[in-house]
């Protein structure tokens, strides 16, 4: 059940027409109200239309609208925010940070143009779980390191950043190897993100390398604001899972636990201490990544895994990881569920495809068919679950929710 209290909309930096979001929000709100009472017209998601959504109209200066391999709208962001003056946004006091929303019916995440992803939860309190994360490092046998964070990409790398319907996609390609990634909140009601990493060997020789998966652990309440304390991390070898319980305080006596798990691919070693991981190497080439080993230190600030891979010539290997925030008792079942899932990204995208409205508006209006789907996705992916009221909420969003921590809508 989703409780629709207000739909002011999340402040997402993208090209498009914001008035349409209000139109879609109103239409979906009316549809939910009708489903609770008298039968309304058939849902647009059940329509037989196969609208053309390939229009690039409204792309703006930041990139280009595309239809992705799942037949869904995506925005390919092209600017370099650290070098291109067009990235500065006057309405944000010149900020060059641009982002798009990921989410399912439980959590929200923000994908940034510099390549990192932040997880948001309001199960127990309004908090950001991490500052950085959702990317990694490939260390090849010759000792070279490829960071897949766009801000730290190797010189000459070919890159893509796709703000997709349901995912954030990245490609980092250098000579001999290409690393494709998707970070996504799987369709449904689970409080986690999944990260698929596909390492493709484009050379004539086998590739022997190590993948270092990286997620920050820096929970911060936006009310205050203040940092949230965490207990000493634990590693469960049988589950290939790192976890760190948030500490109870005057605001939350039953706090959640931050966790990360390797779902596909083995774990040679792990790290849970930022100082040990980065050492004197810095973000682009952390000391432990350069050395090829993680120290298994139970400190604070991050979760990292090292997964050795051998990729045959002109072949690929896919790894998968989970990162989330849940009550400790739920974590084993969540990890087991998504470890057993077959191709969860494709399944999630099919679910979005079935749910999104499909409508054609005549010649020259393919952009409207695209916007209808994109804005419907943006609305539902902004849903969160709140234990305090026992409902899923589509809130007013924006600065109220994500900076001030105000959920006035639930009291209206």
- Give the pLDDT of residue 12: 34
- Give the pLDDT of residue 8: 33
Residue with tokens 């500490």: 247
Higher-scoring residue by pLDDT: 397, 124: 124
Class for the domain spanning 2-411: mainly beta
* Residue range 298-321, pLDDT digits in tens: 999 999 999 999 999 999 999 999
- Give the pLDDT of residue 363: 85
Lowest mean per-residue pLDDT among 37-51, 287-301, 341-355: 37-51
Q: Is the pLDDT of residue 410 over 90?
A: no
Report the alpha-carbon distance of residue 134 to residue 217 in Å, rounded. 12
Report the alpha-carbon distance of residue 345 to residue 194 in Å, rounded. 8
CB distance 357 to 373 below 8 Å: yes
* Residue range 356-383, pLDDT digits in tens: 999 999 888 999 999 999 999 999 999 9
Helices (DSSP H) in 287-400: which residue ranges? Answer: 287-291, 331-340, 344-355, 366-380, 398-399
Mean pLDDT of 92-103: 96
* Residue range 209-239, pLDDT digits in tens: 999 999 999 999 999 889 999 999 999 999 9
Six-digit token string for 155: 């010189």
Residue with tokens 């001999």: 176
* Residue range 15-25, pLDDT digits in tens: 344 444 444 44
Edge to edge, what strands does the sheet with 2-4 contain? 2-4, 391-394, 384-386
How far is CA 166 from each of CA 27, 240, 326, 335, rounded to the nearest angstrom? Answer: 21, 26, 21, 20
Q: How confident is the model at residue 396 (pLDDT cuts 50, 70, 90)?
A: confident
Per-domain boundaries in the chain: 2-411
How far is CA 390 from each of CA 120, 124, 303, 405, rounded to the nearest angstrom? Answer: 18, 11, 30, 18
Residue with tokens 């990260």: 195
Tell me the pTM. Answer: 0.90
């Amino acid at each position: 059940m989703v409780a629709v209290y207000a739909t002011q909309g999340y402040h997402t930096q993208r090209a498009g027409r914001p008035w349409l979001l209000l139109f879609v929000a109103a239409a979906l709100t009316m549809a939910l109200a009708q489903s609770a009472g008298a039968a309304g017209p058939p849902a647009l998601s059940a329509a037989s239309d196969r609208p053309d959504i390939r229009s690039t109209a409204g792309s703006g200066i930041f990139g280009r609208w595309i239809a992705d391999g799942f037949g869904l709208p995506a925005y390919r962001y092209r600017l370099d925010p650290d070098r291109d003056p067009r990235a500065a946004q006057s309405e944000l006091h010149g900020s060059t940070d641009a982002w798009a929303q990921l989410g399912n019916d439980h959590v929200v995440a923000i994908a940034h143009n510099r390549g990192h992803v932040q997880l948001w939860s309001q199960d127990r309190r309004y908090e950001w779980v991490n500052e950085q994360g959702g990317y990694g490092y490939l260390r090849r046998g010759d000792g070279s390191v490829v960071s897949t964070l766009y801000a730290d990409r190797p010189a000459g790398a070919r890159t893509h950043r796709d703000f997709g319907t349901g995912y954030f996609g990245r490609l980092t390609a250098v000579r001999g190897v290409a690393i494709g990634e998707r970070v996504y909140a799987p369709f449904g009601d689970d409080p986690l993100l999944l990260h698929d990493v596909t390492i493709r060997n484009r050379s004539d020789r086998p590739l022997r390398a190590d993948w270092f998966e990286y997620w920050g652990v820096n929970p911060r309440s936006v009310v205050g604001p203040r940092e949230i304390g965490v207990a000493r991390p634990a590693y469960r070898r049988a589950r290939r899972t790192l976890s760190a319980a948030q500490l109870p305080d005057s605001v939350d006596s039953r706090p959640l636990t931050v966790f990360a798990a390797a779902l596909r691919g083995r774990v040679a070693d792990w790290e849970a201490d930022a100082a040990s991981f980065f050492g004197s190497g810095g973000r682009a080439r952390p000391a432990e990544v350069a050395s090829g080993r993680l120290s298994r230190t139970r400190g604070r600030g991050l979760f990292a895994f090292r997964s050795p891979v051998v990729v045959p010539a002109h072949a690929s290997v896919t790894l998968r990881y989970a990162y989330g925030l849940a009550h400790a008792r739920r974590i084993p079942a969540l990890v087991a569920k998504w470890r057993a899932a077959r191709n969860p990204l494709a399944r999630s995208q099919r679910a979005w495809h079935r749910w999104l409205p499909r409508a054609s508006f005549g010649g020259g209006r393919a952009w409207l068919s695209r916007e209808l789907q994109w804005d419907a996705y943006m609305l539902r992916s902004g849903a969160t679950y709140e234990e305090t009221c026992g409902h899923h909420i589509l809130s007013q969003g924006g600065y109220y929710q994500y900076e001030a921590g105000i959920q006035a809508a639930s009291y209206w």
